[in-house]
Structure 1
Amino acid sequence: MGPWLDSVTGWLTVNPQWLAAAVFIVAFVECLAIAGLIVPGTVLLFAVAVLAGSGALSLSETLLLGFVAGVLGDTVSYFIGRHFHQNIRRLPGLRHHPEWIAGAEAYFQRYGIASLLVGRFIGPLRPMLPMVAGMFDMPFPRFAVVSLLAAAGWTVAYLLPGWATGAAIRLPLPEGFWPQVGLVVGSIAALVGLSVNSSVRAHRLVTVYIAGLSLVILGGLFIGFAHLNAFDQGLMTLIQEHRSPLLDEVAVMLTQLGEFKNMFVISAALTILLLVTRQWRHMLFAGSTLLITALANTGTKNLFARMRPEVLADPLSSYSMPSGHSSGSFALFLTLAVLAGRGQPTRMRLTWLLLGCLPAVSIAMSRVYLGAHWPTDVLAGAVLAACVCAASLAVTQRQTVLNPMPTKVWWLVLPVLMALFGFFALWNLPHALLRYSY
């Protein structure tokens, strides 16, 4: 594959006018039934995203192309399944590889709508699940809503890293930037790798290990943030270089969600709903995670008294590290992801955690984008929340495993939380746009 990939990227480098089409086609094929299993789309996506980030396409253009192509790939796959139904097994490729559709079919039958959200981030399932949804006659409006949500998260997760890498290579960045990036990325990779490996092996003390390593990384950030100046300055330069009015509005809407008063109301609503529905242990886990994270964030922020970046036209007066938006959003979404994964296979639990991290990362990165926090601020907030969440889960499960919540509880919790998120995202949006202008 190496020479072929080199020839493709080499041709696109010489002919950048075709790069937008390449991003669209690769994203479309990656999400297209059967074809997405054959073509190495993930590698190609990263490669074309790197080229896009080198100056050929803006971030908003790259993400929009990937999003539209992903939705189109899902839609075509859905109608293929809707048209052929069970005869789909006779199609070329599936006739000789029945296991390709068997796994997606079993997954869809077991998890329903959730499979379309979670399976989007599981390589072999991603291109097959929309086709299976059509094969089982899922109503198209319901499928379309889920596809739009899943495609938005998938686009950011799969295209943003490559685009950012290309942009970083192009810009003149501070000396020592790349070694510090390696140190930070390596630490996070170690945390994620330990979490996945311990979970797959079903280690009895997995949550204790995760909490311990998170605490070590958090301590390193608190002690060494002054020595990661090149990392902070480089990423801040990279992000501020690519601001646009459209992304400004999206970032402000996201940062609205993470405001302390909003997160307090949403967290309180979740805890009260668990209390009303008599989910005692779930309430203790969620309440302790959210409360301890908030208290720890406030205490450490005042302890280290780090000043904020000088980007905002109207600078914030509070201290910077760790980011309250980051710690609050990660605490909430990791809590929901842990609760959603109770009683499910390891791969499903890990995928729920990945899904939970996507909105939290979006809120956290909006703070860096708007210039309200340094990158290490939001990283410290995320690791703080992960540490508290893992420790709280370990304490909650020290005698008995936390059971899954009844479906009827989820049907109460999710609509309430989604309504609150929607309200807070739009409330005072014009005022917030003025506040975070630069």
Structure 2
Amino acid sequence: MTQWYDQVTAWLGANPEWLGLAIFLIACIECLAVAGIVVPGVALLFAVGVMAGSGALELWETLLLAYTGGLVGDLISYGIGRRFHQNIRGLPLLRDHPEWIGSAETYFQRYGVASLLLGRYIGPLRPMLPMVAGMLDMPLPRFIAVSMLAAAGWAVAYLLPGWATGAALRLPLPEGFWGEAAVVLAAMAIVLGLIIQATLLERRWANPMAAGLCLAALAALLLGWPHLQGFDQGLMALVQDQRTAKLDHFMVLITRLGDFQTQLLVGAALGALLLIARQWRAAGFAIATLAATGLANSALKHFFARARPDILMEPLTSYSFPSGHSSAAFAFFLVLGILAGRGQPGRLRLTWLLLACLPALAIALSRVYLGVHWPSDVLAGSLLAACICAACLVVMQRAAPLSAMAPQVWLLVLSACLALFGGIATWALPTAIARYSY
């Protein structure tokens, strides 16, 4: 398999004109029943992402090709399941590995539509769940709607790291960038790795450890940010190299979701909805997390008084470190992810948190794209939110774990918050575009 992988990547490197088709096919195979388990699609997607980022393809082209390929793989898998139904168990490979379809079927029957969203990020389940959905006669329009949503986050999560690596190798970057980036990435990998391991093993001290690790990483960043100029300037140059007029409008829309007024209204709505639904402890956890994150961010911002990047025509007058947009977004969406995962196994709780972090990460990256925050600003904001969120969860669960919310309550809360987000962002878009222009 290693030799085959080396041959594929070497051939694509020598024939970059086929790279777009390769991204589409690899994404399709990665999401295709059975084939997605056998073929090392994740490694191949990273490799072709690096090639695309080296100048062969724009970021939007790379993501669109992967997104389309993933959707086609889902539809083919769904069609196979719909065609053969229970007879599918007798097909080659599945007959020899009944556990592949058995685990996916159990997962789908237990979590329904949510399994297609969560299982997208769980390797062995990703290619099997669409086939099981077809086998169990899930309505096609519902499957397509869920698949379109799941494939969008999946394409970003699996292609963006490779593309960014390729672009970083292509551009002239400041001296010290790679060393500083390696230190930051290694520290974050250690923190996330320890938290993930403790959660999967269902350790009682997982939440206190998460709070402590995030606090330690945040303290190191607060002390060391003056020594990360190469990292900040290099990533800023990489992101600014991708700016276009059309993408500016989209990023302004995303960044509006993290504005103070938006986060205040949506946070208040979340707390009010939980109180109306008599979810007292969940409401206390949400309100405490959002309020403490906002207060801590304001205090740190004025203490460090770090100037913003000199990108905008009319630079913002407030300070940049830590990023208020990043801390507010991560606090809000982490709260939603934690509430969604209550009462579920560790793997599912982690998957909910991953899904919750995607919109928060988009808001944080939009700040770097628009040139109003350094990368270390948004990293500090995310660590601050994660630390406070984990600490508040520890306090709220001293006597007993937070109970799982009823599906009706969860859907009401999520729908209302998303609707409020969309309404506020759209209403304020024209003013924001003028504010964040070059």
Q: Which letter does structure 2 place at the counterpart of 1:290?
A: L
Quote the Cα distance in structure 1 between the aligned partners of 2:97 and 2:431.
Answer: 56
Q: Does 1:209 align with 2:209?
A: yes
Cα deviation for residue 2 of structure 1 reads 3.0
What is the CA deviation profile of residues 360-397 of structure 1, one whole-angstrom value per residue up to 9, with x for unaligned ones? 11110010011110000000000000000000000001
| Percent identity (aligned) | 61
| 1:367 paired residue number | 367
The within-5 A match list for 1:110-189 is: 110-189=110-189
- Conservation of the 8 A alpha-carbon contact between 2:85 and 2:136: yes
Q: Which letter does structure 2 place at the counterpart of 1:191?
A: V
| 1:277 paired residue number | 277
**Which secondary structure does the structure 1 equivalent of 2:284 belong to?**
helix
Q: Which letter does structure 2 place at the counterpart of 1:24?
A: F
Cα deviation for residue 69 of structure 1 reads 0.9
Quote the Cα distance in structure 2 between the aligned partners of 1:131 and 1:246.
Answer: 37
| 1:15 paired residue number | 15
Cα deviation for residue 146 of structure 1 reads 1.1
- Conservation of the 8 A alpha-carbon contact between 1:211 and 1:391: yes
- Conservation of the 8 A alpha-carbon contact between 1:94 and 1:100: yes
**Which secondary structure does the structure 2 equivalent of 1:51 belong to?**
helix
Query: What TM-score, normalized to structure 2?
Result: 0.98
Q: Which letter does structure 2 place at the counterpart of 1:420?
A: L
**Which secondary structure does the structure 1 equivalent of 2:71 belong to?**
helix
| 1:257 paired residue number | 257
The within-5 A match list for 1:182-201 is: 182-201=182-201
Cα deviation for residue 201 of structure 1 reads 2.5
Q: Which letter does structure 2 place at the counterpart of 1:413?
A: V
Quote the Cα distance in structure 2 between the aligned partners of 1:302 and 1:347.
Answer: 38
Q: Which letter does structure 1 place at the counterpart of 2:311?
A: V
| 1:96 paired residue number | 96
- Conservation of the 8 A alpha-carbon contact between 1:309 and 1:372: yes
Q: Which letter does structure 1 place at the counterpart of 2:199?
A: S
- Conservation of the 8 A alpha-carbon contact between 1:60 and 1:247: no
Cα deviation for residue 433 of structure 1 reads 2.3
Quote the Cα distance in structure 2 between the aligned partners of 1:24 and 1:229.
Answer: 37
| 1:77 paired residue number | 77
Which 5+ residue runs of structure 1 have no aligned equivalent? none
- Conservation of the 8 A alpha-carbon contact between 1:27 and 1:70: yes
Q: Which letter does structure 2 place at the counterpart of 1:29?
A: I
| 2:433 paired residue number | 433
Quote the Cα distance in structure 2 between the aligned partners of 1:365 and 1:187.
Answer: 19
Cα deviation for residue 95 of structure 1 reads 1.6
Cα deviation for residue 47 of structure 1 reads 0.5
Quote the Cα distance in structure 1 between the aligned partners of 2:248 and 2:72.
Answer: 26
- Conservation of the 8 A alpha-carbon contact between 1:308 and 1:372: yes
**Which secondary structure does the structure 2 equivalent of 1:313 belong to?**
coil
Which 5+ residue runs of structure 2 have no aligned equivalent? none
| 2:337 paired residue number | 337
What is the CA deviation profile of residues 102-146 of structure 1, one whole-angstrom value per residue up to 9, with x for unaligned ones? 111000000011101000000000011111111111112211111
Cα deviation for residue 13 of structure 1 reads 1.5
What is the CA deviation profile of residues 33-81 of structure 1, one whole-angstrom value per residue up to 9, with x for unaligned ones? 1111111100100001000011100111101111111111111211221
Quote the Cα distance in structure 1 between the aligned partners of 2:260 and 2:285.
Answer: 20
Q: Which letter does structure 2 place at the counterpart of 1:237?
A: A
Q: Does 1:358 align with 2:368?
A: no
Quote the Cα distance in structure 2 between the aligned partners of 1:221 and 1:398.
Answer: 29
| 2:301 paired residue number | 301
Quote the Cα distance in structure 1 between the aligned partners of 2:163 and 2:321.
Answer: 27
Cα deviation for residue 202 of structure 1 reads 2.2
| 2:63 paired residue number | 63
Q: Which letter does structure 2 place at the counterpart of 1:360?
A: A
**Which secondary structure does the structure 2 equivalent of 1:152 belong to?**
helix
Cα deviation for residue 429 of structure 1 reads 1.9
More displaced 10-residue stretch of structure 1: 243-252 or 278-287: 243-252
| 2:322 paired residue number | 322
Cα deviation for residue 5 of structure 1 reads 2.1
Quote the Cα distance in structure 2 between the aligned partners of 1:429 and 1:72.
Answer: 34
Cα deviation for residue 437 of structure 1 reads 2.2
More displaced 10-residue stretch of structure 1: 118-127 or 90-99: 90-99
**Which secondary structure does the structure 2 equivalent of 1:258 belong to?**
coil
Quote the Cα distance in structure 1 between the aligned partners of 2:233 and 2:154.
Answer: 28
Q: Which letter does structure 2 place at the counterpart of 1:217?
A: A
Cα deviation for residue 187 of structure 1 reads 1.2
Q: Which letter does structure 2 place at the counterpart of 1:204?
A: R
Q: Does 1:108 align with 2:108?
A: yes
Quote the Cα distance in structure 2 between the aligned partners of 1:5 and 1:96.
Answer: 25
Cα deviation for residue 356 of structure 1 reads 0.9
Q: Which letter does structure 2 place at the counterpart of 1:212?
A: G
The within-5 A match list for 1:222-237 is: 222-237=222-237
Quote the Cα distance in structure 2 between the aligned partners of 1:73 and 1:314.
Answer: 46
- Conservation of the 8 A alpha-carbon contact between 2:201 and 2:346: no
| 2:392 paired residue number | 392
